[in-house]
């Protein structure tokens, strides 16, 4: 079975500057993300799980294999949650859902920042589509991911220190502020459309 490959970044390594540096992206993608992919491949080699998709490993594996598979999946989702600054703002459907759930885009950003700042240690902050047409903000610890058994993720922000330490040292708040300059609303809207699509399309 072909091993998992490190998915390429969907933009150039300098495309997120000045908010996230080329140096951070090269290390974060080329070393951290690559290491998770390598560990998954090393763990499943010559086992009955070697043919499994990354999604299946995240949903069904346990222990270190789950941790590495989930980190690989979360990072790919994170790269797509970002786009170069100045890109499109939330399209109409997503904008309406944000207003229904948080009052305004500022309300979402405030709730997301508070949850991310309050999150102790490594993990991820997520914008998710909860049942009943509501959007919610949640955080997960370490490798944990809503893909496993949670609501449908729309957007994520990596809360591991390696995501900002080279650029910001201890200033997590500055990294979280920059996240909103880079948020890929088109990606979030595509995910939301999947959430509201008929089940057969999932
Ligand atoms: Mn990371």
Give the model confidence (pLDDT) of 115-131 as tens digits: 999 999 999 999 999 98
* Residues 81, 93: Cα–Cα separation, whole Å: 18
Distance 161 CA to ligand 1 centre (A): 8
Rounded distance, CA 101 to CA 154, Å? 14
> How far is the centre of ligand 1, averaged over its atoms, from the C-alpha of 123 (Å)?
9
How far, in Å, CA of 63 to CA of 165, rounded?
A: 27
Are the C-beta atoms of 142 and 64 separated by less than 8 Å?
no
| pLDDT (tens digit per residue) in 27-85 | 999 999 999 999 999 999 999 999 899 999 999 999 999 999 999 999 999 999 999 99
Contact criterion met (CB below 8 Å) for 49 and 57? yes
Interval between CA 198 and ligand 1 midpoint (Å): 33
Residue ranges of the chain that CATH labels 3.55.40.20: 92-201
Residue 156: which of 195, 127, 198, 189 has the closest Cα?
A: 127
Asked: is 22-81 a CATH 1.10.220.150 domain? The reply is no
CATH number of 92-201: 3.55.40.20
Read off the pLDDT of each residue in 95-111 and give the average, rounded to a whole number: 97
The answer to whether the CB of 140 falls within 8 A of the CB of 122 is: no
Residues bordering ligand 1, an ion, CB closer than 5 Å:
158, 160
pTM (two decimals)? 0.95
The answer to whether the beta carbons of residues 74 and 124 sit under 8 Å apart is yes
């Amino acid at each position: 079975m072909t091993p998992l490959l490190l998915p390429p970044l969907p933009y150039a390594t300098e495309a997120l500057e000045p908010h996230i540096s080329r140096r951070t992206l090269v290390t974060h993608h080329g070393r951290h993300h690559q290491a998770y992919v390598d560990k998954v491949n090393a763990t499943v080699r010559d086992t009955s799980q070697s043919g499994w998709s990354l999604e299946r490993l995240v949903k069904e594996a346990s222990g270190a294999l789950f941790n590495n598979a989930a980190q690989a999946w979360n990072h790919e989702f994170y790269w797509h949650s970002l786009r170069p600054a100045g890109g499109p703002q939330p399209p109409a459907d997503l904008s309406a859902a944000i207003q229904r759930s948080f009052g305004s885009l500022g309300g979402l950003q405030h709730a997301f920042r508070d949850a991310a700042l309050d999150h102790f240690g490594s993990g991820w902050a997520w914008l998710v589509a909860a049942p009943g047409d509501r959007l919610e903000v949640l955080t997960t610890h370490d490798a944990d991911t809503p893909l496993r058994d949670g609501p449908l993720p729309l957007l994520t922000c990596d809360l591991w220190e390696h995501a900002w330490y080279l650029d910001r040292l201890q200033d997590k708040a500055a990294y979280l502020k920059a996240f909103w300059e880079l948020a890929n609303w088109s990606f979030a809207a595509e995910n939301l459309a999947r959430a509201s699509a008929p089940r057969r399309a999932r």
